[in-house]
Amino acid sequence: MTARKFNFSSGPAVLPEPVLRRAQAALWDLAGSGIGILEHSHRGPEFAAVLDDAEARLRRLANVPDSHAVLFVTGSASQHFYMLPMNFLPPGATVDVVHTGVWSGKAIDEARRHGGPTAVHVAGDASAGGFREIPSTLTWSAAPAYAHYTSNNTIYGTQWRTPPTPPAGVPLMCDASSDFLSRPFDVAAHGLVYAGAQKNLGPSGLTVVLARRDLIADAGKGLSPLLRYQTYAAERSLHNTPNTFAIYVIAEVLAWIEAEGGLAAMAARNQAKAALIYQAIDESDGAFVGHAATDSRSLMNVTFRGRTPALEEGLLAAAEAADCSGLRGHRSVGGLRASIYNAMPRAGCERLAELIRDAVRRA
Ligand code: PMP
């Protein structure tokens, strides 16, 4: 078998090796049932046990209170850019959005498509600075129906240190796609949290949603069932056939995080991993510079540029030769991006830091 590379891709992304090994075995035979996970009915007892396990682990690990439902919604995070306004933005109402990059921009577009051109109030806007930082001052509208932010901006490598605080009583909705379960997180302070699975959780094609039951109960009445959060809550994500394999892998990833010490341990590890790479960038005497402002730096996506295109290309080539892949930055930012989610081993970050130092020495 070929050796596995360090995969710095932004998503789909690296998964923990023990999880992949268990998934390999479960493809053939799930838990001694004689049937593989891809072949089990979503209504059978074997899959019911998987679903129960995924929900119970998520509740424990992320401290999800009973007030919030755990939903496994087939489809990608982008789908929630329109499901949120469809469910929570009544005619004439306003949503406050903090604009920190491409993904919040899409949330804004979809809210306008649903509610009209005046439906969105931009409560903070990082666009003028090239999305290099998380806005430090926010101005909320008089009575927003809800507020929306993106906890980690995958493309720019910026991350909120703590969630924004909209006025009392305004539900706070979070796109946590690229840092969910990377650190302790106050679910109870949010109305709804959604995270596409393909970064820290498992395969693409599924989004985990944590939603306050009282908010979703009557929201979106009259919509097609699959567009209402309440359908997933009332039918335990089994209104239609869910992405059973993704839910299986997520349950295994959750078990792995628990075994590794939980979210506090993930946070400590992620902090140390990111520091290795940021330090190599900061000590490069300007050969490489970080894209994000220092106090907005992400622990999940490290974005940086070389002083010259040759430095960037040289580092990318050296990285490929050293089995480090997926480092080219997003087309809108350029440069390099190292996505170092929970499952990226520290050794991968050490190797990249060394490659940066080598590139500086060669320059
Ligand atoms: N939100 C964030 C923060 C993301 O990083 C991404 C994808 N990279 C999305 C939303 C969109 O996810 P999807 O492609 O699964 O719709």
- The torsion defined by the Cα of 92, 230, 50 and 247, in degrees rounded to 10, comes to -20
Which of helix, strand or coil describes residue 319?
A: helix
Q: Which residues contact 101 (CB under 8 A, 6 or more apart)?
A: 126, 131, 150, 153, 154, 155, 156, 158
Helices (DSSP H) in the chain: which residue ranges?
17-28, 45-62, 79-88, 102-115, 213-216, 229-234, 244-259, 262-282, 309-321, 346-362
Pocket probe for ligand 1: among 74, 148, 154, 243, the residue whose CB has the most ligand atoms within 8 Å is 154
Q: Ligand 1 — pocket residues by CB below 6 A?
A: 11, 76-78, 103, 150, 154, 175, 177-178, 196
The pLDDT of residue 363: 87
Mean pLDDT, the chain, rounded, equals: 97
Ligand 1, atom 9, residue with closest C-alpha: 77
CA of 79 to the centre of ligand 1 (A): 10
pLDDT of residue 1: 55
Comparing CA positions, the residue from 354, 291, 282, 295 lying closest to residue 323 is 354
Report strand pairing: 146-150 vs 172-175: parallel
Residue with CA closest to ligand 1 atom 15: 76
Q: Which of 96, 140, 160, 175 is catalytic?
A: 175
> Nearest 5°: phi and psi at 9?
-65, 150
Residue indicated by tokens 């789909």: 12
How far does the centroid of ligand 1 lie from the alpha carbon of residue 161, in Å?
Answer: 20
Atom nearest to 207 CA in ligand 1? 15
The token pair at 101 is 């990059």
**What is the rounded distance in angstroms from the CA atom of residue 51 to the CA atom of residue 98?**
34
- Residues of the chain with pLDDT below 70 are 1
Question: What number does the ligand 1 atom closest to the CA of 101 have?
Answer: 3
Q: Determine the Cα–Cα distance for residues 7 and 175; give it in Å rounded to an integer.
A: 23
CA of 94 to the centre of ligand 1 (A): 23
Catalytic annotation, pick one of 96, 140, 179, 199: 199
DSSP structure class, residue 328: B
Instruction: Look at residue 3 in the predicted model and tell me its pLDDT.
Output: 86
Ligand 1 pocket test target in 177, 179, 199 with most atoms within 8 Å of CB: 177
Q: Is 224 exposed, middle or buried (0-12, 13-18, 19+ CB in 10 A)?
A: exposed
CB 299 within 8 A of CB 279: no
The reported pTM is: 0.98
Mutation to probe ligand 1, out of 76, 179, 243 (largest number of atoms < 8 A from CB): 76
Told to judge if 175 belongs to the known catalytic residues of this protein, a careful annotator would answer yes
358 is catalytic: no
190 contacts 174 by C-beta, under 8 angstroms: yes
Closest ligand 1 atom number to CA of residue 150:
3
Q: What would the two tokens of residue 95 be? A: 């949503």
CA distances from 361 to 44, 209, 251, 302, 358 (A): 59, 46, 44, 21, 5
Partners of residue 172 on adjacent β-strands: 147
Residue 204 alpha carbon to ligand 1 centre in Å? 10
Cα torsion for 86, 87, 90, 93, to the nearest 10°? -90
What gap in Å lies between CA 348 and CA 351, rounded to an integer? 5
Q: What is the pLDDT of residues 152-175, one digit of tens each?
A: 999 999 999 999 999 999 999 999
- Compute the distance between CA of residue 25 and CA of residue 118 in angstroms, rounded to an integer: 53
- From atom 4 of ligand 1, which residue's Cα is the shortest distance away? 177
**Cα distance between residue 66 and residue 77, in whole Å:** 23
> 1 CA distance to ligand 1 centroid (A)?
32
Cis peptide, bond prior to residue 12, ω within 30 of zero: yes
Task: Give the ligand 1 atom nearest the CA of 10.
Answer: 8
Does 218 qualify as catalytic in the annotation?
no
pLDDT digits 0-9 by tens, 284-311: 999 999 999 999 999 999 999 999 999 9
CA of 350 to the centre of ligand 1 (A): 27
pLDDT at 207: 98
Ligand 1 centre and the CA of 82: distance in Å?
13
Single out the residue of 165, 157, 108 nearest to residue 136, CA to CA: 165
Query: DSSP for 72-118?
Result: EEES-TTHHHHHHHHHH--TT--EEEEE-SHHHHHHHHHHHHHH-TT
> Which of 284, 251, 269, 248 is closest to 361 using CA atoms?
284
Q: How far apart are CA 52 and CA 29, in angstroms?
A: 19
